């Protein structure tokens, strides 16, 4: 079996990290690259757990915490991309123990599918879960129209949605300027929230090259409205701009 996958994962919480590592271990003993937050009190325990279960583990401790797992992915990319020989990266990250249900919902389809068969699809750029976390990015017109229907208590969240879309448009412009790539049919892409997915190494590389400055990331956590949330959508746009398909799969489909 050709193990054409490298694992990238961003970890912080002790028990959820161990849970995620146990699930990833079912895929075979694949190369594993981990990003950890600075001064993470469980870092040593997490790394020991990983090394007990994987034979090829490398990790980085980030210099600063910018509040997003996308910051972890960005740093993993810059640290290891030149050494990656696999066509695919499986990116995952832990969640607070109260959100393990979400983690299972997005992880189950891609862990329980016939992974290597799915990755043999030469037209696929991203493989991720279908279901309630598959979201359609709203257009500027749709967001503007919605403002007339929302109460004052929801205005702040509405503004954050605008911020996310603004960053997405900026990344799309950078991609166009730097490469000439665009996909007007997918300018408001379907995406799976949270970015636990298989992604072609060349798609990830092309997407993150559009983050021209690490200061695009803010030094705070936001639940919407920053570069990290735009990147969640942007990977799916880059994939189709490179003329790949994004595959949304369910556990039921993988069992058929």
Write down the pLDDT at residue 254.
53
pLDDT at 224 over 60: yes
Tokens (6 digits) for 100: 């393990």
Write down the pLDDT at residue 5.
95
pLDDT at 211 over 90: yes
Tokens (6 digits) for 3: 């193990």
pLDDT digits (tens, 9 = 90+) for 158-180: 899 999 999 999 999 999 999 99
Q: What is the DSSP string of 15-74?
A: HHHHHHHHHHHTT-S--EEEEE-TT-TTHHHHHHHHHHH-SSEEEEE-SS--S-HHHHHH
pLDDT at 1 over 50: no
Question: Residue 255's pLDDT band (boundaries 50, 70, 90)?
Answer: low
Report which of 61, 67, 39 is spatially closest to residue 229, judged by C-alpha positions.
67
Tokens (6 digits) for 92: 């995952």
Q: Using an 8 Å Cβ cutoff, are 233 and 168 in contact?
A: yes
What 3-state DSSP class applies to 207?
helix
Tokens (6 digits) for 59: 């990790």
pLDDT digits (tens, 9 = 90+) for 103-135: 999 999 998 888 788 899 999 999 999 988 999
Sheet with 245-249, side-by-side order of all strands: 57-61, 32-36, 5-11, 88-93, 197-200, 124-129, 245-249
Q: Using an 8 Å Cβ cutoff, are 70 and 231 in contact?
A: yes
Write down the pLDDT at residue 130.
93
pLDDT digits (tens, 9 = 90+) for 236-251: 999 999 999 999 999 8
For the chain, state the CA radius of gyration: 18
Domains and CATH numbers, the chain: 5-255 (3.90.550)
Residue for token pair 């403002």: 147
pTM: 0.94
Residue for token pair 């970890």: 11
Question: 72-76 contacts: CB < 8 A, separation 24 or more?
Answer: 72/10, 72/35, 72/37, 73/8, 73/10, 73/35, 73/195, 73/208, 74/208, 74/211, 74/214, 74/217, 75/35, 76/8, 76/10, 76/33, 76/35
Tokens (6 digits) for 139: 């257009």
- Tell me which of 253 and 94 has the higher pLDDT: 94
Return the percentage of the chain with pLDDT > 70, whole number: 97
Question: Residue 233's pLDDT band (boundaries 50, 70, 90)?
Answer: very high
pLDDT digits (tens, 9 = 90+) for 11-67: 999 999 999 999 999 988 899 999 999 999 999 999 999 999 999 999 999 999 998
**Distance of alpha carbon 68 from alpha carbon 194, whole angstroms:** 10
């Amino acid at each position: 079996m050709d193990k054409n996958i490298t694992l990238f994962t961003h970890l912080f919480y002790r028990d959820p990290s161990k849970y995620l590592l146990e699930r990833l271990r079912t895929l075979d003993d694949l190369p594993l690259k981990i990003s950890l937050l600075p001064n993470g009190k469980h870092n040593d325990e997490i790394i020991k757990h990983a090394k007990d279960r994987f034979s090829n583990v490398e990790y980085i401790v980030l210099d600063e915490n910018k509040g997003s797992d996308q910051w972890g992915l960005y740093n993993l990319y810059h640290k290891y991309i030149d050494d990656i020989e696999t066509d695919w990266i499986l990116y995952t990250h832990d969640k607070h123990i109260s959100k393990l249900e979400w983690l299972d919902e997005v992880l189950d389809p891609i862990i329980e599918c016939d992974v290597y068969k799915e990755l043999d699809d030469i037209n696929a750029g991203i493989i991720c879960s279908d279901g309630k976390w598959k979201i359609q990015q709203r257009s500027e017109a749709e967001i503007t129209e919605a403002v007339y229907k929302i109460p004052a208590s929801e205005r702040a969240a509405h503004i954050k949605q605008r911020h996310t879309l603004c960053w997405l448009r900026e990344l799309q412009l950078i991609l166009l300027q730097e490469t000439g790539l665009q996909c007007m049919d997918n300018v408001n892409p379907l995406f799976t929230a949270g970015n636990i997915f298989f992604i072609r190494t060349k798609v990830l590389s092309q997407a993150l090259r559009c983050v021209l400055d690490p200061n695009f990331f803010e030094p705070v956590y936001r639940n919407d409205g920053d570069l990290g949330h735009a990147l969640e959508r942007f990977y799916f746009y880059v994939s189709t701009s490179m003329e790949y398909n994004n595959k949304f799969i369910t556990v039921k489909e993988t069992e058929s």
